[in-house]
Every structure is written in C-alpha cells, then in structure tokens.
Chains A and B, each alone.
Chain A
Amino acid sequence: MSSSAPASTAPGAGSSGSSGVAAASSFHTLSWVVWLLFALSLAAMTRNGWYLTQLLLCAYLARRILAGNSSSARAWGVFLRFGIFLALLGLLLALLFGGNGRTVLVELPRLHWTITVAGESATLLDLGGPVTLESLLWAASGAFSLITVLVILATFNILVDHYQLVRRVPAVLDRAATVASIGLAFVPEMVRAQGELREGMALRGYTGRSLRDLGPLFIALLQEGLERSIALAEAMEARGYARRGASWSRGRELLVRGGLLAGLALALAGAVGLRGIGSWGVEGSQRLAAGVALGVGLALLALTLASIRRGVRRSAYRRESWRWQDTVLASVSGAGLGIAVFLWWNQRVLFYYTPFPTASWPPWSPAIALLMALPILPALLGWWSRREHRRRDQLLQTARTAARTVARKGEQR
C-alpha cells in the first residue's frame, strides 16, 4: 500500500464527540490479535479459579471501558450466558458419570453396560456411582475455564474492527473472508434479534421459559440470521466483491473448484493414511502411497491457490495507524505470551490445579497472578486515552472561551 493512504484511526482525526472518544480508545487490529492470543493462552493453560477470575475481570473491564453501553457490547452478556449454560451442562455430566475422589457427597444408582468383541470385553456406558466433591470441583474448574475462554473471545469480537480483520485475510481466500465477515457480524446481530423476539413473545402474552419455547425462538433467530446474511452477501456481490479479472473464464472457475476439491481430498487421505486409523496401522508401500498422496494433494492446493491469486485483484484504502499504545499493548502481550509459554513448558505445576485426591483450595503465586493481570492493559490504556482526550477537549474549550472573551473586550475598547 502506498504511503498516501489515509491513516484514519489517528486519535480524533476529523471526528468529534463520541466517535472521537471511541477512536481514542481503539487499538490496531494486530495488537488486538496479539492480546487475544495472550489472554486465550492463559485461559487455556490453567484451571485455577483465582487466575481465571482475574482474567474474567480483565475482559470485563476492557469491555466496560472500551465498548461502554453500545448495542454490540450487549453481545458480551450472551457469550457469558452461553458459557454458563455449557458449564452447567458439564456439571450435570460430571454428576451422571461420577468420578474419582475421596469425599463422597452422594451415591447414585449405577448403570454399567459392557460389550464383548472377539473375547475381549469393553465398557460402552458407565453411569452413576459415587458423586465426589473432587469430581464436581474438577468439572467446575473446567467449566470456569470454558466460560473465561468464551468471554475473552466475546471481548475481542465486540472490540476489534471486524472490517479491518477481514481485510487482513489474503485476497486469495476472499470466499472465506465473506463467510468470516458474515460470521463476525452474526453474533451481535443475533443478540439484538433475540432480545426483540423475546419482547415479541411477551407482547403475544407468552412469558414461559421452558425448553419447548426455545424451538420457535431458535428457528426464528436462524431465519433472521439467514435473511441478514443473504442481504449482506447480496450487497457485497453487487459492489464487486470477489470480482475475478477479465481472464477468468467459466472453464477456469471449474478447474479451480476441481483443483481445490481434489487437492483437499488427496491431502486428507494422505494424512489419514500416514497416521493410520485406530488400530489399523499402515506399513511399507501403503505408507509410501499415503506420503505421495499427501505431497501431491498439497502441491495441487498450492497451485490452485496461486491460480486464484492471479485471478483476484484487490487494493487497500486505509492504513490503520499504529500508536504508542499499540506498541505497549502488543509488546507487553507478546512478551507475556512468551513468558507464559516458557513457564508452562518448564514449570507447568505453577498453573496447575487439581482437587484430587482430596479437595483443596487452588494455590496462588504472586508471579503468576501478575502475569494473569497483564490482559488488563487494553482497559488501562483505553481509560488513560479517554481521560487525556477529555482533558484536551476541556483545554481547547477553555482556550476558545478565553479567546472569545479577549476578542469581546478588545471590541469593547
């Protein structure tokens, strides 16, 4: 991209009021991606309730300070509720399947079903038995980790500029980018539609909350989502998205589709062949054939993508500005990610929490707690930027008032 492209996310660039504040608290897409990788890695590394609480708090503050009460920010709560629903489901399964541990809370009737194949018996289903405090704690910590991952993803989803994110998908994958842009917009739209449909149900006089009611609501939501997606895809196509060059013919389109399909199929078959399926391993010449299939498949894919790349032309209008806040966010998140991976690799026990064999409180280490607090950086930087902007606006206002007063006095004299 040429240097003449506008860098339009510069603080306050041509904007005023709320948008000025919004611009002040936004970050470069790449710094958001680094933050996301860092925060997600931390959430995936631990089941320790203290650390997960810290991560949740960081995500909440980022959402609260940077997104305020905007309509898209409301999608955050839906992710949270979805996480809680999955967590409850996990706890229920833990109850049903029982587990290890010493502190037995309740004994459920046992259902054990085995099957014998070729003289060897295998367990098909094992339900019930003793429900232990430890197994419940283990399930709860897993569920908490899942909620944290979902909330971090939700925070990223509502704070990142979707368009800039999609723009960074290589032109060769434009179809995937279309799907991605629709997918990214899908959740906030669905949240809004879900609220309106709930209101609609109340207006019809129906206030039930049973699982049976979820059916029509779910279908109505899907229809709404589908209609919006079609409208968006139609608008994108009408504005020349995924336009192929003049040399792109119908024959070439068919060739490209065939190439992608054959390449993927060969690569997949080769990969599966090399690894073997279950206990049926592959040896000797079969292994060689699988390797050749994988190689040919990958080569075919590469050739096809290169062909698409030659047929697709696209340029970029806007260059996102990189501010010192982005440098801080990206470098701290990047360094934090490096440290976290290093510690996890060498001292995994620092992140570890297990309630087995006897239930206990999760451990707490100041160093790890500090690491887990680093994802708060977007919230802190955003808050600082907003404060600076407000102060600058006030100063400008004061200066303007003073200038007017001086001018008026001059006229009076």
Chain B
Amino acid sequence: MSVTDAWTAGGETVGGEMVARLDRVSYRYSPQGPAVLKELSLEVEAGELLVVTGPSGSGKSTFLRLFNGLVPNFHGGVLGGRLEVCGLDPVAQGPSGMASEVGFVTQDPESQTVAVRVEDEIAFALENAALSSAVMRKRVEEGLDQLSIADLRQRPLEELSGGERQRVALAAALVLQPSLLVLDEPTSQLDPQGAEEVLSALRRLNEDLGLTIVVAEHRLERIAHAADRLLYLPASAEEEVLLGEPREVLAKAGLGPPLTRLGAALGWRPVPLTVREARPRRREILEVLSLVFPEPAGEPPKTSSPQEQQNPESLVQASNLRFSYPDGDSPFGRRDVLRGVDFTLAAGERIALLGRNGSGKSTLLKLLVGLLEPEAGRLRVLRQQPRRSSLAKLARSVALLPQNPLRLLFRESVEEELRWSCQIHDVPWEKAEALLQRLGLEARRHAHPRDLSSGERQRAALAALLVSEPRVLLLDEPTRGLDPVGKDRLLELLEEQSDGGAAVVLVTHDVELAARFARRVVLLAEGEAVVDGPVREVMTSSTVFATQINKWLRDPRYLTVQDVLEALPPQGDDAADEESS
C-alpha cells in the first residue's frame, strides 16, 4: 500500500512531537484472507487533526482500531509491521491498557453506552481507572462543560437524541485526558443537526485544547476545511493511498463538497472547500454563465420526466392525516406526530421529504405502506385504504426501504433473499436475476447480507423490494452511512425507477441529494406539511435548504455541480483552466 505524499514534507509530519507512528503496517483478518491494510506507514503529530476517508470496506475502521489495540487484540487477525502510540505498543498493552492514552468513539451512539444516565456514562472510564472521588467529580464536570452537555447530566441516555448521545460518548472518551482521540465515523448515524453538533465539538477540541484527533468521516464538507491532513484509503489495499493537504487529496480522489468537486472538474488549484473560499471565482463563473443563459432567472435546465409531462396517474391522495404515539413521559398520554398533513403523489414524481427529526416524515411513510393506521383524515394509496387492504398485496405495489436495510434482510445470502421475494410475490426468477446484474450484485449473490458493505446492503434490500416492480418507492434516509460512490449509485438507480414510471419519495436531511434528485420538495414541520413546491422554488428561497452551489451563485437555475457544468459552454473547462493559471 503505497502512500502518495507529494503535498506534505514527504508525507511525514513536519517537526513537532509524534503521537503515533505506523511503520509498514499490514493487516488481514485471517491468515488466508485478503489484506485490509498493506505496508501502511505514517506518523501523527501532536495537535493534528487527521481525517480518514474512503469507500465502504476500505479498512478505515480497521485502521482506527490499531491505535488502541482493539485490532488485533479484540478482533483477532494477523498484524505485520511496527506500531507505536504515545510511546506504547498497543498490541502488547491491549485496549484497556491503552484506554488512558487513546479515547475511542464508534459510529453507533446506542451500542457504545454502558450506563443508564449521562453522568454515570461519563464517569465509567474514571471508575475503571480507580481514580479518587474528588478527581472523578472534577473530571466529570470538565467533560460536561467541554462538550456543553451540563444540562443533560441527569438525563437517561435513552431519552437523548443521536447528536446528544454522541457528544456524551465524546465526553466519556475524553475524561481520562487521552493524548489521542480516535473516532470511527461518529456522525454516520446522525441527522445533519446532530452531525454538526459533534463535528463542531471536535473542531473546538482540536483548536482550543490542541487535542490530537484521528477521525474517519464521510461528511467532508463539515470537517475537511479544519483538517491538517487527509488520508484517503482506497477500496482495495493494492491501490494507492493518498495522504496530504485536504484540498489536494480531495481534488485527486474526486471527493468533497460540491464546490470542491466543481473546482476539481474545472481544474482550479487549490480547489475551494467552502463558499467563502470560492467567493473570488463567483464573478467569473457568473459572467461565463450569463453569456450562455442571458435571462436572470429561468426555468431549470432539467426536463421533467415523460410521466410528469403528460397527465400522470394519481397514486396517493392524503388529506388532513393525523397520528399520535404513546407518550413516554405519561402512563396514559399520547404525543401528536402528524397534525393534519395533506399529501399527493403521482406516477413518475420525484419528491424529497424534508424536515427536522421528529417532524413526522417516517410516520407518514409508515402510514402509506399500511404499517400504521391514521387516527383521522383520508388516505388512499392506489385507490385503497392501506391498512384495510392486505399488507402483502400492498407491499407488491408500494415499497418502503427503512433507514437500516438489514431490517429487510433475513436470509442466508443475497440470492436467497431474492428467491424469497419471488416466492412471496409470485414473480419468475429471471426478473430477480436481471436485478442482481443491474444492481451490480451478481458477484456478491452468495454473500450473507451482514457481510456486505453498507452500499451493497442497501442495493440488496432494494433488489428484494424491486422484484415486484412497485409503483411507489419510499426511501427513509437512504444515504445515512453511505460513501459518495454509494450515493451516486443509489441516485442512478432511483432515477432509473422514476424514468420507468415509479413515483419515488426520498426522506432525507441531505439537501445536496434532494437537489440532485427531486423535482418537488415537501417540508414537514411539527407534523404539518408547511411547504410543498418545485425543488428550485423551495431550495433557493431558503437559507437552510439551499445547496452549497446555490449559496455561492445565488441563482435559482444552479443548484448542483451538474447544473453548472451542463450550463457552461464546452470550452468552459479550458477557459476556467486559463483563468486559474
């Protein structure tokens, strides 16, 4: 595994105290298995923020678990090379021996909590280190203050949001005052607000306290600009590892926020990471664009799908839908989740359903597939009341992909999953076979669903649903935990479904994704549909829901990188290249 390190002083950190040193480290989970890491060498300097990125299955989690000895002590496998963290050998010390030097936070905020209440959770590591009561109290107070969670100290962890829980996990990892904090995709299971809370806490810890941080992250737009270096691990250990200044690594790997990708496509050096960094380029791009599209504001360059242009068949009509859940705080109380939602859906439509956590998005989807019954209001899906028609029959025409695709997968292999779907819906196997190939799963057909990467799991679940050729496809946060390649593949697939006449509803917090895919946006707030309109109208008249490109150009015609690239004249790349040089 060679490290391309042209942008820093030989890939080694410059001067300063070293916190960790990896010398030609290789790892495989079994002696006969493929190499997950191959001859990886790098050093982490004290006070550095190193961001690790790469596609699913590239070995990011394995790499991070080297620092505290979880690999190989906890997970087994064969480790080669030399490793030194904070002057210690993590393999000899083991995870519990490294606990006071390396703080560790995993991606799932639920499965890493031990105690019931916040304060106990934070004190857990201190108790294990047998510190005195006075020291523990001081450290717990510091942890609560550092992460701004003092108001949560008595709360049961069960009641906290994902972002709050992850900040508690951060505080719990920091109370032993480690020299190095290692985080494995800490925001992958969080909504944008929760992710922002965690990432700003990380930036603060790095900048204010000088804490050394190694973090694996997909949401590069929020952290790449604060990183000192970026490590890109490729899908295969045989490919080239990239390590260096974030802008350069992102440009080379074709990753990053929309402005970075646009900059890379137009050959800008250095590529911008934020709207502020791209500001100087705005005028020149607008000038070029105004030559192509002189109108100040016009119809979007995208065309509607054929189904939308004709008079599309109405598939869902919902009016004044109401629903409530039992209230956890009161023995007999209920909490309103939907308070009179109106919603329609026609064949071929592409809708993005946006809204904060708890605004009722997932509940609305569950009503549409008949998992829940509305308490009031009128709901017709394919001219039927979902709850009163057979769930099996409805599932044939209305498919819902939940946040965790494993909820849909029960069989021993991908092929068995599809065979089961064919059996349930009485569909010939040839259709499933074609789907396996179309979704790029034929090589993984015998794999157990739990052994697949997150993108593959999602495609396997989608394949199981698409066997029956549903007319309505509902997806609940489908990009959570997906890498950029996985996102692109998913979007291609959804566009294909929509072009084939299926109505697609995408529940998401990702405005960039919504802008790339949707034609219509419905915004839920406090259980009501407060906005329902064309994507360009909704997303350009908002400061919260505007895309990065739109925030930069402030022109409703341009929401995505694709919009800009398509609008630029063919020689645009060259012109931009010349400008930048």
Contacts and interface: CB of A to CB of B under 8 A. Distances in A.
Interface stretch (B243-251, B395-403, B524-532, B560-568): B395-403
Contact of A231 (B95, B106, B400): B106
Contacts of A65: 331
Given A18-B328, A234-B70, A317-B133, 10 more contacts: A65-B331, A199-B407, A203-B395, A216-B410, A217-B410, A220-B410, A233-B74, A235-B113, A237-B94, A314-B127
B424 A206 contact: yes
Given A8-B154, A203-B371, A203-B402, A238 B104 contact: yes
Interface in A35-74: 64-65, 68-72
A316 interface: yes
Most buried by B among A204, A207, A227: A204
A1 interface: yes
Interface in B52-79: 68, 70, 74
Q: What size tier do the contact residues of chain B reach?
A: 35 or more
Contacts of A19: 154-156, 159
A57 to B, nearest CB: 15
Contacts of B112: 231-232, 234-235
B106 to A, nearest CB: 6
A240 interface: yes
B132 A163 contact: no
Contacts of A231: 106, 108, 111-112
A205 B468 contact: yes
Contact of A216 (B155, B172, B411, B464): B411
Given A206-B424, A236-B114, A317 B127 contact: yes
Most buried by B among A6, A15, A201, A235: A235
A21 interface: yes
Q: What size tier do the contact residues of chain A reach?
A: 35 or more
B435 interface: no
Contacts of A21: 329
Contact of A4 (B68, B134, B330, B331): B134
> Nearest 10 pairs between A and B by C-beta?
A240-B99, A205-B395, A317-B123, A69-B326, A235-B112, A313-B130, A231-B111, A15-B154, A240-B128, A200-B407
B446 interface: no
B213 interface: no
A315 B132 contact: yes
A354 B112 CA distance: 50
B176 interface: yes
B486 to A, nearest CB: 20
B407 A196 contact: yes
Contact of A239 (B159, B172, B425): B172
A216 B406 CA distance: 13
A140 to B, nearest CB: 30
Interface string B108-124: 10011111110110011
Contact of A200 (B100, B173, B408): B408
A68 B96 contact: no
Contacts of B74: 233-234, 237
Contacts of B424: 204-206
Contacts of A316: 127, 133
A277 B233 CA distance: 62
Given A65-B331, A204-B420, A235-B112, A13 B137 contact: no
A312 to B, nearest CB: 9
A202 interface: yes
B425 A205 contact: yes
Interface of A: 1-2, 4-6, 8, 13-15, 17-19, 21-23, 64-65, 68-72, 161-164, 181, 196-197, 199-207, 216-217, 219-220, 223-224, 227-228, 231-244, 313-318
A199 B329 CA distance: 25
Contact of A240 (B106, B120, B125): B125
A69 to B, nearest CB: 4
Given A238-B70, A239-B172, A239-B173, A64 B421 contact: no
Contact of B106 (A14, A203, A219, A235): A235
B514 interface: no
A393 B94 CA distance: 50
Given A238-B70, A242-B96, A23 B154 contact: yes
Most buried by B among A196, A240, A318: A240
A223 B137 CA distance: 38
B482 interface: no
A71 B123 contact: no
Contact of A243 (B96, B136, B155, B421): B96
22 contacts: A2-B132, A5-B136, A8-B153, A13-B154, A14-B154, A69-B330, A200-B402, A200-B407, A201-B410, A204-B408, A207-B390, A220-B409, A232-B112, A234-B106, A237-B70, A237-B74, A238-B102, A239-B99, A243-B128, A314-B130, A315-B131, A317-B119
A384 to B, nearest CB: 14
B120 A317 contact: yes
Contacts of B129: 240, 243
Contacts of A244: 96
Contacts of B328: 18, 68-71
Contact of A235 (B111, B396, B450): B111
B11 interface: no
A181 B329 contact: no
Contacts of A234: 70, 74, 95, 106, 112
Contacts of A15: 154-155
A202 B395 contact: yes
A4 B133 contact: yes
